[in-house]
Chain A
Amino acid sequence: MAAIEILGLEKSYMVGFWRKRPRRALQPLHLTVEDGEIFGFLGPNGAGKTTTLKMLMGLVFPTAGSARILGREWTDPEVKAQIGFLPEQPYFYDYLTAHELLDYYGQLSGVPGKDRKRRVDEVLTRVGLTDVKGVQLRKFSKGMLQRAGIAQAILHDPKLVFFDEPMSGLDPLGRREVRDLMEQLKQEGKTVFFSTHILSDAEALCDRVAIIHKGELRGVGAIEELTSGVQGKVEVIWQGTQVPASMKALGAECHVTGDRVRAVLAENQQDAAIDALRRERIRLIAITPLRTSLEAYFVEKLQQPAAAGKTAGVNG
């Protein structure tokens, strides 16, 4: 069973003084997220990621289309007992402590009273908020609020978690911890759907990604598939600071960094390059075929004309 099936959701806002001019925030979106995967929803700021998430959460009403979450209509309130949601730059009731906030959310999510205190302590420990008892949220830093936000999203042990820019406001260590947490959630059999514009996070975590730009889906697929495109070039790295003339003759683009030289050349020149290095008695460190990076794929999809990206993307 698919965890999420988005069936042509679209959103237009009426703009202008008389609110008569429609502005499309999201073109009809078709997307399927499989059960148990980490799915990255990528796009630059203003691409339509948050609008999509808000529609799935029932915060914004779509102009057309529908969705199914965990096999049920997305508007079914019972679905919400099985999903967790972290909004972008979350803001909470700042007169509450983290324990009070999570207790309140636990009540609303139907977590039984006898389990609630234990669950609250568990998730706060899990997100690294251990010494916050009695501290009101108004005294939390941005990173601490983000952690509290993640805690409330997983408090009720949901099957499906939506994170909107989960790394926002976190320091490098915090980002690493959130990445680890998302991997743990996957190992626990949960589905994670997260939006981000930080490609390295998506590349490190996701099973599959979708790319959205200007409200339109531009591409979707598994990370390995998207980055497996061989460019017909190889990267050769050797020890030293000298670039032999024979390597230059092969048309290699060379860069010296410290005591290593990195050269990129055509794949059919690979054997000739190895021979050249042997002749010069230079120590070869690595030869790697160059693959398309997620960043290159992302940029390519963003630069594509809208219609071309659309047909490529609607296969998720």
Chain B
Amino acid sequence: MNNRIVHIARNTFREAVRDRVLYNLIAFALLLSGTAIVVSQISIDIERLVVVNLGLTAVSLFGIVIAIFIGIGLVSKEIEKRTLYTVLSRPVRRWEFIVGKFFGLAGTLVVNTFFMAIGVFGALLYVAHKFSAADAQILVALYFIILEFLIICSLSLLFSSFSSPLLSAVFAFSLFVIGSFADDLRGFAGMAHGFTRWIATGAAYLVPNFSALNVISSVAHQQSLGVRLIAQNTLYAVFYTVMALSGAVLIFERRNLK
């Protein structure tokens, strides 16, 4: 990878690590996993189900909040605080800046997910006393959660490249919520007629399909996930991320930094 992208990514990661909000969110995620243990103790024979469900949902939600919270400020904060001036006056291309920022945030989220995943597996071991072969599926669910983060990161960056942090947060969070019901939206599009069908179909395919990436319930019920699904979801997430990042680059390349 281009050296400048690596340096920008590393600095973005360093900023996130030194940001106290990030530590708080990790603490909250761990706290939630702890709560899962308590809940599992008052549940009969469904301890694993509750821990996996609650733990992975916490990993996903906290990661999404971190991705949006940091992602929306990645470009706009640099413009607002004028830190960008001394970066772009060096031999750094604007696309390198965007891509570097993306990898920095993605790296932060992968590391963050790694530590939260340790919490989930720890909680699981606590309630089940041992791991089973089906628990390997949790890794697939975590991988899909990371794919979700990549999409959200790229969308946050896209919005951040032309909008204020507040509006970027609203856009990104709205897309996350709508994307989580993408399957329902597609179902509705299938049933609609005329102009409504046209609009609903367009919207259903435009919003990120987070429902396809959400396999938490399947994993909690120990259903196996096929290689085909993993390949499809990977291709979809990479394609969507590249598209959103390209949009961010196209906008940022033309933007005057007042």
- Report which A residues bind B (CB closer than 8 A): 54, 57-61, 77-78, 80-81, 83, 85, 87, 89-93, 95-96, 104-105, 107-110, 149, 152, 162
Centre residue among B7, B82, B83, B91 by max chain A CB count within 10 A: B91
A96 to B92, alpha carbons, bound, how many Å? 20
Contact A108 B83 (CB under 8 A): no
C-alpha gap A96/B88 in the complex (Å): 18
Nearest residue, chain A, Cβ from B93? A77
Chain A residues with CB under 8 Å of B83's CB are: 91-93
Q: How far is the CB of B111 from chain A (nearest CB, A)?
A: 17
Total count of chain B residues near the partner, CB < 8 A: 26
Residues of A within 8 A of B7 (CB): 104, 107-108
- Please tell me if the beta carbons of A90 and B15 are within 8 angstroms of each other in the complex: no
Tell which of B19, B88, B256 touches A61, judged by Cβ atoms closer than 8 Å: B256
C-beta contact mask, B62-92 vs A, less than 8 Å → 1, else 0? Answer: 0000000000000000000111111111111
Taking the nearest CB of chain B, how far is it from the CB of A193, in angstroms? 13
Contacting B90 at CB < 8 Å: which of A54, A89, A93, A108?
A108
Quick check: is B129 within 8 A (CB to CB) of the other chain?
no
Q: How many angstroms between the C-alpha atoms of A109 and B15 in the bound complex? A: 20
The answer to the question of B258 belonging to the interface, with a C-beta cut-off of 8 Å to chain A, is: yes
Pairwise interchain contact B15-A80, C-beta atoms closer than 8 A: no
Nearest to B84 among chain A residues (CB) is A59
Cβ-closest chain A residue relative to B11: A104
- Closest CB in chain A relative to B81 CB, distance in Å: 5
Residues of B within 8 A of A107 (CB): 3-4, 7
When the two chains form the complex, which single residue of A60, A78, A92, A110 contacts B86, counting CB atoms closer than 8 Å? A92
Assess the A81–B81 pair: CB atoms within 8 A: no
Docked-complex contact B256 and A60, CB < 8 angstroms? yes
User: Which residue of A83, A91, A93 is within 8 Å of B89 (Cβ)?
Assistant: A83
A109 to B91, CA, bound (A): 6
Considering the complex, give the chain A residue whose CB is closest to the CB of B81: A91
Among B18, B81, B90, contact of A105 (Cβ-Cβ < 8 Å): B90
